[in-house]
Amino acid sequence: MEKENSAVEYRIEHDSMGEMKVPADKYWGAQTQRSHENFLIGVGYETMPQEIISAFSILKKAAAEANSEIVPEKMTAEKCSTISKVCDEIYDGKLWDNFPLVVWQTGSGTQSNMNVNEVIAGRGNAIAGKKLLHPNDDVNMSQSSNDTFPTALHIAAALMIKKRLLPAVSKLVDTFKKLEKENKGIVKSGRTHLQDAVPISFSQEISGWRSSLERDIEMLKLSLDPLKELALGGTAVGTGLNAPEGFDKKTAEKIAKLTGIDFITASNKFHALSSRDEIVFAHGALKALAADMMKIANDVRWLASGPRCGLGEIRIPENEPGSSIMPGKVNPTQCEQVTMVAVQVMGNDAAVGIAASQGNFQLNVFLPVIAYNFIQSARLLSESIISFTDNCVAGIRPNKEKMHENLHRSLMLGTALNPYIGYENAAKCAHKACEENISLKEACVSLGFLTAERFDEIFHPEEMAKE
C-alpha cells in the first residue's frame, strides 16, 4: 500500500501493459484504472448505466455455471460459487461504486467488460481470502468483450421492457379504462386541425388514448422476440474461438432461468456481433410509445387550458404553483415532463439508428452509446408514464358545463343538417351564424331552409356522437 496526497491509499495492480496504482478501497484492477484515467469525458454524469452492469452480473454468473459444467477442471466448484456470490452482490447493487467508467470509451465496451471482470475477481479473492480468481482466465472464461457487451445489452433492454416499461404502460391503460367508464355518456365537441368538429363523447376521446397505448404494448412485446437472441459464444469475431462446444446454448439457458425471459443463443453469431438491428427495432417501439405519449399529453393540456381563457373542458390536479410572478397560476407540469421525455426519446432514436449503422466488418463499435441511449429512453418513459398516471391522469375530471357550452356553440353541428337541407345550404347557415354571431337555428330559419319547429325536431347534438 502507498499513500498519495496523504488522503487516498493505493495498491499496485498490473495487466499486460504494466503496473497501475488503484484506490485501495476499490475492487477494480489495472485495466479499469487505465480507462478511468484516459477517458475523462462526462465523469460522474454519463457512466455506464447500472442496468448494463446488472445484466453483466447475470451473464457472468451464467457463464461461470456453464463453464463449471462443461470444463470443471478449469472452472472449479469453488471458483464458480465465488463468482456467483459476487454477481449476486453486484445485481443487488452492493458494489455499485466500483463501476466508474464512462460511456465515452472504446466502442466495443471492452473496458466495461473488464471492469466487471476485475471487480468480480477482486471481490471474489477478498471473499476467498486468497488469489482464487483471475479476471481474464476465470471470470471472462469462454468469452470476449465482443460477445459479452451485445449480450448484456440485449439482457438489459429486454428486462427494461418487460419488467419496467410494460407494467408502467399497462397501469396507464387501466387508468384510462376507469376514466372511460366514469365519463360514459358525456358529449363534447370534437376537434380536427385545432378547429371545431362534430360531436364526440368524452369516453370515446379517452378510448382513443387508451387504444393507442394498447397498440404500443403490442409493439413492445413484438420487439422482445429479436432481443432474446444472444451473441454470447461468438467470442471475438463470431467463430466462437476459445469457447467450448455447447457453451453458447447452455449459457443462454441459464440466463433465461435467471431472468425469467426465454433467451436463446443467436443462430448466426457473425450477425449477432456486427449488427444491432434488433435494438433499433426495439427502440422504434419506444419511439412509437413516445409519439403517442406526446399526443396524449398535448391533448390533456389543451383540454385543461384556461382556466378562463382556454378550452377548460377538463380539470387536472393542481400539483405546484406555476409562476414566480403570477399568483394563483397553475401549469400542466406533468404533461410538460411527458412531452420533454418524448423529445429526448425521439432524439435518442436518431442516435441509436446512426450508431447501429456503423457495424464495420465483424463488429459494431458504437455499443456503449447505443446502450446509454436505449436504457435512458426505456427508463425515462417508464418513470415519466408512472408520474403522469399517478399525478395527472388519475385526477382528470370533466368540466361538464364547459363541454356543454362549447358543444352547443359549435358551428360544425350544422353537419347534422346535411341530410335535410344539403351540404351547401348547411354551409350557408354556418357562415351566416359565424359572421352575425347568431345561432345555427336562427341562421337556418332566417335563410328559410327550415322552420323553427322542424329545426328543433331534427337537431339533437348529443345524439351525433354514436357510442
Position 55, amino acid:
A
The verdict on whether 134 is a catalytic residue reads no
Give yes or no for a contact between 465 and 204, defined as CB atoms under 8 angstroms apart.
yes
C-beta separation of 143 from 63 below 8 A: yes
| Residue 455 three-state SS | helix
Whether residue 351 contacts residue 373, with contact meaning beta carbons closer than 8 Å, is answered with yes
Catalytic residue among 323, 431, 446, 460: 323
Residues 6+ apart with CB under 8 A from 122: 26, 27, 28, 29
Q: What are phi and psi of 360, to 5 degrees?
A: -85, 125
The neighbouring-strand residues paired with 359 are 364
What is each CA distance from 367 to 48, 78, 81, 374, in whole angstroms? Answer: 11, 33, 30, 11
Do β-strands 363-364 and 314-315 pair in parallel, antiparallel, or remain unpaired?
unpaired
Contacting residues for 370 by C-beta, under 8 A, at least 6 apart: 153, 276, 279, 351, 352, 355, 356, 364
- For the record, the C-alpha cell of 426 comes out as 348547411
Q: Which ranges of 77-164 would DSSP assign to H, the alpha helix?
A: 77-91, 110-128, 145-159
Task: Report in angstroms the alpha-carbon separations of 188 from 267, 292, 299, 438, 463.
Answer: 55, 22, 14, 20, 11
Query: CA 311 to CA 406: how far, in whole Å?
Result: 8
- CA triplet 185, 170, 297: central angle to 5 degrees? 65
Rounded to an integer, what distance in angstroms lies between the CA atom of residue 27 and that of residue 32? 10
Among residues 6, 193, 267, 324, the one annotated as catalytic is: 193
User: Can you tell me which residue has the cell 351547401?
Assistant: 424
Our answer to whether residue 193 is catalytic in this structure is: yes
Rounded-to-integer distance, Cα 448 and Cα 443, Å: 9
DSSP classification of residue 99 = -
Give burial (CB, 10 Å; 0-12/13-18/19+) of 195.
exposed
Looking only at the bridges linking them, the beta strands covering 359-360 and 314-315 are unpaired
Phi–psi pair at 353, nearest 5 degrees? -65, -45
CA dihedral sign, ordered 42, 44, 49, 54: positive
- Residues catalogued as catalytic: 193, 323
